[in-house]
Amino acid sequence: MVGVIMEKLLFPFVSIVGQEDMKKALLLNIVDPSIGGALIKGEKGTAKSTTVRSLSQILPFRETVKGCAFNCDPSKPDRLCPYCSEKLDRGEKLIFEMKPMRVVELPLSATEDRVAGTLDIEHVLKTGEKKFEPGVLAQANGNLLYVDEVNLLDDHIVDLLLDSAAMGVNYIEREGVSFSHPSRFILVGTMNPEEGELRPQLLDRFGLSVDVKGDKDTDTRMEVVKRRVAFDTDPKTYTEKHRVQTEALRERIIKAREMLPRISTDDDIIRAIVTITTNFGIDGHRADITMMKAARANAALDGRDSVTKDDIRAVASLVMSHRMRRRPFEEESFDTEELEKCLQSI
């Protein structure tokens, strides 16, 4: 089954110790879902799943069409599902409601039909009407889709997820009958590299990537243990203790999303981004565009109306670390000194 992560039993996002890059990558995607999602790689026990699932506590509300299985956004009439479009064509009014964004989890065993949905061909042949059973991609529309152990999914399922995330549409065709519906979501994958890597072509399709490791500092590790024990002992009290911080972060995200269209970027910033990606040998233009979007989202989160070099510093490794060319068995690393030289030379 597809699970919608419930908030009340989750460890608070604002109480997670360290892992700042992981938290930043996730927050930037919530501010601007067009960044392209996030891939979080790391050894077991580094709070990857805990952090992603806890996002349900801080995700903002969104307007949807009441009763629509595809969570259609009424403010985007060009992105409505066939059923909502037909209602409008008949002169019916769509009823709206505000719903919180959700974290929808995809189980590792999910089949292609379960992910994409299924067309009832027999019904089509008998009645001439299309009957579609929505899948995970319908539930994910307008929400966050979480895939744990994404590296263990069949490649064709990963391709399907990435294609839908990139195009914002899920297209299904069976026996010459086709159906499509909106499917815009934030794709977040977590994985342990020890269990296998993703193909390079798939890596590049994730907007941001983070490598997480367990902290070696004694005091930090002690704090992780103390917080986890306190939460497990009394989840309700612990969550309530962090309610004010949680709501403050949610409001910060909402303001950043509202501010994003007004964020300005001048040619100097664009030149800096292009210079950096060229210097690091990044192929194509996806990294340039993603870095611009991530830098703008970072500025919005900080409450600023223009992008600076500090925003580039904050997001460069998240954008480029998984896109750099490497020799076989070469360790992944990002040269911050090289980044600084680029920024200083511009």
- At 6, the pLDDT band (50, 70, 90 cuts) reads very low
| pTM (two decimals) | 0.87
pLDDT of residue 210: 92
Tell me: the pLDDT tens digits for 244-303? 999 999 999 999 999 999 998 888 899 889 998 988 888 888 899 999 999 999 999 999
Q: Is it the case that residue 119 has pLDDT exceeding 80?
A: no
Q: Is it the case that residue 5 has pLDDT exceeding 50?
A: no
HSE-CB for 254 with a 13 A CA cutoff: 13
Question: Which residue carries 């986890």 as its tokens?
Answer: 228
pLDDT of residue 4: 46
- Beta carbons of 301 and 320 less than 8 angstroms apart: no
Q: Is-catalytic flag, 62? A: no
Name the DSSP class of 332: P
Determine the length of the chain: 346
- Beta carbons of 319 and 302 less than 8 angstroms apart: no
pLDDT of residue 326: 62
Q: Is it the case that residue 329 has pLDDT exceeding 60?
A: no
Q: Is it the case that residue 9 has pLDDT exceeding 80?
A: no
pLDDT of residue 1: 43
- At 77, the pLDDT band (50, 70, 90 cuts) reads confident
Q: Where does the chain show beta strands of DSSP type E? A: 3-4, 38-42, 61-65, 96-100, 103-106, 118-119, 132-133, 144-148, 169-174, 177-182, 186-191, 208-212
Q: Which residues of 126-165 are buried (b: 16+ CB within 10 A; e: fewer)?
A: eeeeeebebbbbbbbbbbbbbbbebbebeeebbebbbebb
Catalytic one of 62, 227, 286, 313: 286
- Name the average pLDDT for the chain: 85
Tell me: the pLDDT tens digits for 208-256? 999 988 777 888 889 889 999 999 999 999 999 999 999 999 999 999 9
Tell me: the pLDDT tens digits for 125-151? 666 566 778 889 999 999 999 999 888
pLDDT of residue 299: 95
pLDDT of residue 28: 97
38-42/186-191 β-pairing? parallel
Higher pLDDT, residue 200 or 226: 226
Q: Which helix (H) or strand (E) covers residue 59, if one does?
A: none
